[in-house]
Structure 1
Amino acid sequence: MKANVRSIRKQRKYSIEFKKRIVADFESGKFSVPQLEKLHGVANPTIYGWIYKFSTFNEQGFRIIEMKDSSNQKMKELEARVKELERTVGRKQIMIDYLEKMMEIAKDELDIDIKKNFGTPQSTGSGKTNKK
């Protein structure tokens, strides 16, 4: 006959001090959640739960996002692209200012009006058309 055997749950209990120390390590920036998971053998969702519970600046309902190295690299590339585009826009603005100044000089000294003359009447076209 088999004895009355119950299976034992393999669930660990962690002290509050341990949980707060893990959260402090995360908040200080020393370790990321995956690093803490590997270091202490604690599941990822458990650590996030502790962060939401014991953290001073993370609140429940707000998602914590950790950027991976590839995300950081992509962010740096995008920032470089933005700077490049800002320089291009700056050069174009300088060119526009230069051309406008040249048009003013042409108008004042040579009596040539390069800009569109807004005072001219509109053309009548080929006549009125009836709208249906």
Structure 2
Amino acid sequence: MKSNIRLLSKHRKFSDEFKRQIVNDYESGRYSVFQLSKLHGMSRSMIYNWIHKFSTFNEKGYRVVEMKDSSSKKMQELEAKNKELEAALGRKQIQLDYLEKMIELAKSELDIDIKKNYSTPQSTGSGKTKKK
């Protein structure tokens, strides 16, 4: 009875279109070979073979080598952008604190309520409003 059971092949077959898409993702700079191998669960050597076979930049006799500097450079660029965004957020927070302090001062010193209160009566137009 066991002779009728066929073992499933452990090798996956990929279409040329899929292989070209992987190579395009690598060449565009969106993903590194390491990221593609983790993303799709395949070996890096397989991806390097596809790059060698399908790459538009590849010339015969040259080896494709991914520089680790490019990954670290991308990381440095992302860290710089993160610092820039944090600085912008800090400036906005300072501006918000300043405006809230000005609203507080307007209320305490000038007796002007700038913040919307739900209990205040609706304005009747350009006439004077009654103070509480």
TM-score by length of 2: 0.47
Tell which structure's C-alpha radius of gyration is larger.
1
TM-score by length of 1: 0.47
